[in-house]
Amino acid sequence: MGEPLTPLRIGVVGAGKISGQYLATLATKEGLRLTAVTDLDPARAKEAAAAAGAEAVGSLAGLLARDDVDAVLNLTVPAVHAEVALAAIAAGKHVYGEKPLAATREEATAVLAAARAVGVRIGCAPDTMLGTGVQTGRKAVDDGLIGTPVAATGFMTTPGHEAWHPDPEFYYRPGGGPLLDMGPYYISALVHLLGPVAMVTGAASAPRAEREIASGPRAGQRFAVEVDTHVTGVLHHTNGALSTLLMSFDIHGARLPRIEVHGTEGSLSLPDPNTFDGPLQVWPARSHGWQPLPVSADHEHAGRGIGLADLAVALATGRPHLASAELAEHVLDVMLTLLDSAHQGRTLAVTTTCERPAPVG
C-alpha cells in the first residue's frame, strides 16, 4: 500500500449558508485539513472555525498570508469570486471555488491566466457531477445503452430563492439569476454526458421588477431584480446533440423531469444534478416503460467538497483534477452566450470549448 497523502491545508473564505455542507465533507476526508476561516461577519467565521478545530482570521489578507494554508476554498458571493481567486493566486495558493467561476468572461480568463502563470491549480463547483447520478448516466451513454445521443432536456423550476433564503438579494444581482445560479449544475452534467457546446439559441425575461423576502428577520422587505429570472434555450453540442434548457425563478409548480437524454436506441432519466445521487431509469427502444438502472459509479452518498478532495489527490499524483477551471470557464461562457443570444434574438457561437471531462475512476 502507498503512503498516506499529506493533507492539503484549507483556508475557507466565506462562512455563509453553503459552508456547512463543505465543512461536513472536509471533516471526513483524510486528504484535507481545515486550518483557517475568514468571513465579513467575524462571528460567523469564529463559529465555523470552532466547529472544525480551525482558527478564525480577521481578513482575507490575513488568511492568505498564513503558511498553513495551501489552498483557498472560495465560498463568497458570485460577484467577488474572481476577486478572491485572483488574490489567492497572487499569494501562491491553489483555489477551489463555488460556482460560477466568475461573473464575466473577462474575469474567468484572468483567473485562468493568472493560475497558469503562477503554477497553481483552480477547481470549481459543481462537484455533484462526480456523484453516482451523473456518473452512472454517463457510463450508460458511453456503453451505448441508448444508442447515439440525439437530444437532452434540463429543467430547473422554482418560484425563487427569496421563499427560503434570509438574504436572497445576491441571487437577483449580476452574477446571479436562475441561469448562473443553477445552470452550472445542469450544463456541467450535460457536458459530462454529451460533450462541449458549440452554439446556443436563447430567450429570457424578468416578469417582476421586485421580490419580497418571505422568511427570517427581514421577512416582508422588498428588493429590486437586476437580472433575467426566466431563461430558456437550446444548446447545440459539438457531437450534434441538442439540449433544451429551462432555468426559472418564476414557476410555482411543475412536473418536468430534471435531466433526460434521448438516443437512437432509448431514453435515459437522471436525478437532480444539484444532488449527488438518486434513482436512474432507462427506457429501451421497443419497450413499454421505464426500467430502473443500477448505480455503477463511485462517490456514492457524497457531499459538497468531493471536488476539492479530488483536487488534493490530483495534486499529489500529478493527474488533472475533475472539477476543472477549464470546464467551469466553458460552462460560464455557455450561460453568458445564452443570455446574449436571448437579448440579441439570434443563435450565437460559444467561443470557448473544453475536453469532455474524464469519468470518475
| Cα–Cα distance, 286 to 289 (Å, whole number) | 9
Q: What are phi and psi of 106, to 5 degrees?
A: -60, -40
Identify the pLDDT of residue 1: 37
Residue-wise pLDDT tens digits, 60-119: 999 999 999 999 999 998 889 999 999 999 999 999 999 999 989 999 999 999 999 999
By CB neighbour count within 10 A (0-12 exposed, 13-18 middle, 19+ buried), where does 272 fall? middle
CATH topology identical between 8-124 and 130-296+329-349: no
User: At a CB cut-off of 8 Å and minimum separation 6, what does 28 contact?
Assistant: none
| Cα–Cα distance, 74 to 127 (Å, whole number) | 14
Query: What fold does the segment set 8-124 form as a domain?
Result: Rossmann fold (3.40.50)
So where are the chain's domains? 8-124, 130-296+329-349
Mean pLDDT per 10-residue section of the chain, whose length is 361 residues: 74 94 94 97 96 96 98 94 98 97 95 98 97 95 97 97 92 91 97 98 97 95 97 98 98 95 98 94 93 84 92 96 97 98 98 94 75
Residue-wise pLDDT tens digits, 336-359: 999 999 999 999 999 999 999 999
Domain 130-296+329-349 carries which CATH code?
3.30.360.10
